[in-house]
Amino acid sequence: MTGQSILRFFRARALVTGGGSGIGEATCHLLAAEGAVVTVLDRDEDAAGRVAAAVGGRAVAADVGDSEAVHRAVTDSALAMGGLTIVVNNAGVGMAKTLVDYTDKEWSLLIGVNLTGTFNMIRAAAPVIGESGGGAIVNNTSLTGLRPTRGEGPYSAAKAGVINLTQTAALELAPLVRVNAVAPGMIDTPLTAPVIDNPRWRAAAESGTPMGRVGTAEEVARVIAFLASEDAAYITGQTIVVDGGSVLPSLQSDALLRAFTDGRGPT
């Protein structure tokens, strides 16, 4: 780590939701390593405490779907850190089943955490970031919010909502607060462990990715850190895809043209 990168978040005060594992944990480590004071928010109190201890920050246990808990967490964190300049909305939950098989409870959970949780945090944090002199919000959406896939209907709908919410917030909160999003593809995290840990499923995911592998939490964290930094001072309302190129092919035309280029075209 260079001296310049360590100073990138000098005096920054960051709050990372879902910071107890995966992309959130990697983001907490990176922001702290580059100079930020970090509050780790997670509904798992032990996980939040473990990461906070590792990065020299503070831990908060809260459910982002609870608007009152989010408001308290933002207020208390800003008071403890002397302000708030960065919020990373990373908390999320997912599951996979046929659209018509989702229950009301599952729909409410997926929308409540992924979309309402992001809204709750933006609403609570934006005024505090403004009072702190300005800063950035980065939302973690998903590639399936841009390109839906089978089995993740409610999750994809929620993440598509986060993309639109990101754009609306960017319009309304500028110029003091920039708001952007990342849209990860298949990333090696606890959320994707059922796929990553299955050799056949992982191979299928990797075969559909031009980079030939799944991504790491640290790779997404670096994009989040960029969007939260002054290096991205003129970027707002954008969703940056971090997917190893997996969204690039058209399933129909790519398969057809591959047949031609492989010499298997029609005769």
DSSP structure string for 92-158: -------GGG--HHHHHHHHIIIIIHHHHHHHHHHHHHHHTT-EEEEEE--GGGTS--TT-HHHHHH
Write the single-letter amino acid at 63. D
Can 102 be counted among the known catalytic residues? no
Q: Pick from 118, 231, 236, 119: which is nearest to 178 by CA?
A: 236
Residue that the structure tokens 């799944």 belong to: 214
Phi, psi of 263 (to 5 degrees): 80, 20
Reading the block at residue 236, the tokens are 């707002």
Beta bridge partners of 101: none
In contact, 228 and 181? CB cutoff 8 Å = no
Q: Pick from 130, 228, 111, 112: which is nearest to 172 by CA?
A: 130
Catalytic hit among 40, 155, 170, 227:
155
Question: Rg of the chain over CA atoms, in angstroms?
Answer: 19
Angle subtended at Cα 215 by Cα 181 and Cα 158, rounded to the nearest 5 degrees: 40
Reading the block at residue 182, the tokens are 């990342």
Reading the block at residue 96, the tokens are 């996979």
Active-site amino acid positions: 155
